[in-house]
A and B are shown apart, each in its own frame.
Chain A
């Protein structure tokens, strides 16, 4: 035995659970052994006490069964109006969940937790209503009788002989924050019953004979007490764990249950759940799918499905394994998961099969090693094992017909060959027939054909012919061997066939999943993921598929509804919304809103649901368990893909934000520097002139005036650039292309800078043959001005500037080259970034916008601009503009002149 401090994972899980719970409402259950013990009474008393404390409390639903004492307690408590429903002509009243959620009291009283809601309600069960109330942060008082607990259901049935249909999962009681046991000795309860305090007199008599027999009540009371005690025990253990009491703890147990499609499986599940609860152990439910079980009848499949669903409801992890050897698969899985206890049912296998193969249990026990194996029997009086369903038989008829036909053909062939072959060789003909049947139709028809073959062989070929009599007894041996060989061959062949089919089915599933995951993986945008996945899903399930994605406010909209008109139905959309909000399946075939036409599976990732996929089954009207599993797998894949694209989009947005932050700070720095510097110069110079104008020499005065003029020009250029950039960014500038001679644009740019270019040699080499180029003369002129200004700014005074143009492919390239210091490595691209300034230019005026504007202008023209170092020193900027086809023709001069 080991001493154990709290496991950090466990602590974390508990912290998380507690955090989740803090925002949730508190659930208090008034728990009793039987009706009439006073649960509702006690609950209402408690409610009145809370009301006296000033708590906002309402009565959502209370069933008084006409008990006057109870009714008296209702007085002074606010009651919630009941929802009126009509179902098949009957008027029904139900608890109004929506109204309660809207009213939002602090505490609500909702009687009879195990109640089954009328059809048309949101949830099939009231406990789901209560869960929703709790999730909304509302405290709930409710009542429950012990016989309604799922795991105790069969025990109660055994004890009392009354099967209770309304059950709730134990987990609901387990999550209750408080349980108050309302206890009444059996004798007293019977007295109350006799006094008419429980039921109206006419009902009371009948009840006393059946359910309220003293023995029953004692047993139920014991169950209720034990259940409460278990709960107290669990609380005690939790307390110890939380306070790290130095006590010994059993090492973690894990229970594994093997189930099959048998109705007994439900018993196994309940037994295992009880065992697991007692051991405080995790429990797993395993179903091994063997090739033979691929052909389960629909009814069996449904049985299995409901068994697995029950297990999940009771808190088990369910797993479906595939393999040909059940025992090996189960044991291997059990070892992998460190299972300590194995629960199996006592199988209903035939005696001879047991002799032949050894029973499942025997083999399991033999291989189980250190794992304890518990064998649970199916009690007599339980439901009868289901007969093979009619549909199965009907669907197999053609196969059996085929078996008969093949035997007939074999007989014919044997008759033709008969005279030339010995009888022993005729047997071979039949064996071939058996193989054919086994390959095509499986086990049953093959067995039939084996038997028929022996019979036909005897009848037609073994003397005396055309009778079943046998002259020579040694043929009996022939028959036996022939039958045995035929059965073995047919068995083996059928198994091979089944395995092939199992493999194919798995292959199909895997292929479909693979196709979806691959398609999703290559999709870069969420809408693309959804479109691709939706299409695949619709193909695989042959049904209508819609995928819903949430807006920022959490409201879903259909993002894919290729062939699914149901997606636009607001009722269906609200079901999808529920599935999304609660992260649970909803709709057709589930416990929530089953009246809907489609099933909605939330796309869940670690952060919560990212969307919902809705599937409306086509042809046969519902999805079988395999399809449901596949749908889950698909939902997982889609969820992951959607999450991936969402995260990518978020990352991109974050990056963009960082970039724009950077831009903003750069802009601020630049504006404050580039606006203030010239302003300071202007203000300083002009104030000097104003104050002491007459004392200044003419030369000084002129210098100040020149400075004002120069700085005003600088300010003007800076603001112009800033405006250009802003307009280009905002798309406010439309590019108005006209066919232009490059020479003229270059000339205009040089002309504009005449003053600043003074003292520079500017060589423009524009060939006469250059075609007209479609460009916006103002924008391109601006770009050239910026390039020329840069050349002036960053190169030594007097160094030459070259402007050249040439055609390259279907573009024209205009180059502005200087003989300055050139560009440092890595600057070729960065110089075009906004507010980028060379390290050496801190003293230079300018905001680092000029080249960014050039880049934007080039891009707006469908061209680009690049920078490079020039051979022989200096740098060269190349503006590349597309020619966009041949220039328009000019009219011959003659006409215009006429």
Chain B
């Protein structure tokens, strides 16, 4: 009998963390395999073909970002990165190397499950299923086919860049996008350091789609990393 539950590879050198993840993931209906080192992790990915990888950046044998780069050379398997606080540059590097999302230790199980769900969904969408033409979260509705945006059923007029920015976030809904990823994809690959462009347009966008731009409900800031469009 072929099991349909997704298989999660947990890569962390700390046994307590692996144990806690194993127990809670099993409780949520995931199947779990474990690896304590980068070497083991690469072997497991090749042998077990897991559906998603939870990867700690601080491994004893290899730098986490290097591991991501190596995986990405031959696999598009979703990767959720675990890191300690205050290493925003590590997170950004991991995301830009190809990680799908990140979590800061310590984290709650709820957060982890949400990230895994988003990662798995994006992976399955990339697998060929057509994009949902209409995205809805809370009072926000974005019609990608018609290029229309509604808040509480009232259409909101966006400038072309604002729309491009929102559309990109919608396509990656639930995932974090770094400033640079947004900048390159909206403005073009020749941009690199003009992060304030993104910030200013996000601020403008918020004023149009958020009830209280200072306490955004949809377009959340991931401090020092980038933005995430929240799905509900």
| Residues of A bordering B, CB below 8 Å | 712, 716, 720, 723-724, 727, 738-741, 743-744, 746-748, 750-752, 762, 764, 766, 768, 772, 777-778, 781, 803, 887-888, 890-891, 893, 896-897
Contact = CB atoms under 8 A, between A and B. Distances in A.
B98 interface: no
Interface string B181-203: 00000111000000111011011
Contact of A740 (B161, B199, B206): B199
20 contacts: A712-B106, A720-B85, A738-B195, A738-B196, A739-B199, A740-B199, A741-B199, A743-B203, A744-B221, A747-B213, A747-B214, A748-B223, A778-B86, A778-B224, A781-B224, A887-B196, A896-B160, A896-B188, A897-B159, A897-B160
Contacts of B207: 768
A723 B214 contact: no
Closest 3 pairs (CB-CB, A-B): A764-B214, A739-B196, A897-B160
Given A747-B221, A896-B186, 15 more contacts: A724-B86, A738-B195, A739-B199, A743-B206, A743-B214, A750-B214, A750-B215, A752-B223, A762-B215, A764-B214, A777-B224, A778-B88, A778-B224, A887-B196, A891-B197
Interface in B114-171: 159-161, 164
B200 A890 contact: yes
Contact of A723 (B86, B88, B106): B86
Given A750-B215, A896-B187, A741 B203 contact: yes
Chain B interface size band reads: 20 to 34
B232 interface: no
B220 A751 contact: yes
B216 interface: yes
- Residue of A777, A803, A887 ringed by the most chain B CB atoms within 10 A: A777
B212 interface: yes
- Residue of A772, A781, A888, A897 ringed by the most chain B CB atoms within 10 A: A897
A739 B85 CA distance: 23
Nearest to A774: B196
Nearest to B212: A764
A570 to B, nearest CB: 51
B223 A781 contact: yes
A663 B41 CA distance: 45
Contacts of A747: 206, 213-216, 221
Interface of B: 85-86, 88, 106, 159-161, 164, 186-188, 195-197, 199-200, 202-203, 206-207, 212-216, 220-221, 223-224
A803 B200 CA distance: 20
B224 to A, nearest CB: 4
Nearest to B214: A764
A738 B213 CA distance: 20
Contacts of A764: 212, 214-215
B127 to A, nearest CB: 32
A406 to B, nearest CB: 88
B174 to A, nearest CB: 16
A476 B214 CA distance: 118
B196 A751 contact: no
B86 to A, nearest CB: 7
B165 to A, nearest CB: 11
Contacts of A897: 159-161, 164
A581 to B, nearest CB: 53
B210 to A, nearest CB: 9
Contact of A890 (B195, B197, B212, B221): B197
A750 B213 CA distance: 12
- Residue of A744, A888, A890 ringed by the most chain B CB atoms within 10 A: A744
A317 B212 CA distance: 89
A43 B196 CA distance: 94
A727 B161 CA distance: 39
Nearest to A719: B85
A772 B200 contact: yes
Nearest to A772: B196
Given A747-B214, A751-B216, A897-B161, A777 B223 contact: yes
A82 B64 CA distance: 74
A221 B195 CA distance: 104
- Residue of B159, B206, B214, B216 ringed by the most chain A CB atoms within 10 A: B214
Contacts of B214: 743, 746-747, 750, 764, 766, 803
A801 to B, nearest CB: 12
Contacts of A768: 207
A888 to B, nearest CB: 6
Contacts of B88: 778
A798 to B, nearest CB: 18
- Residue of B187, B202, B216, B221 ringed by the most chain A CB atoms within 10 A: B221
B228 to A, nearest CB: 11
Nearest to B193: A738
Nearest to A781: B223
A142 to B, nearest CB: 74
Given A739-B199, A764-B215, A748 B221 contact: yes
Contacts of B86: 720, 723-724, 727, 778
B200 A741 contact: yes
Contact of B215 (A723, A751, A778): A751
A527 B56 CA distance: 53
Contacts of B213: 743, 747, 766
B6 to A, nearest CB: 26
B223 A778 contact: yes
Contacts of B212: 764
A890 B195 CA distance: 11
Contacts of B223: 748, 752, 777-778, 781
Nearest to A754: B215
Contacts of B106: 712, 716
Contacts of A803: 214
Contacts of A716: 106
Contact of B161 (A723, A766, A896): A896
Contacts of A743: 203, 206, 213-214
A716 B106 CA distance: 8
A740 B224 CA distance: 11
A660 B214 CA distance: 41
Contacts of B196: 738-740, 772, 887-888, 890
Contacts of B203: 741, 743-744
Contacts of A727: 86
A744 B202 contact: yes
A750 B186 CA distance: 28
Contacts of B161: 893, 896-897
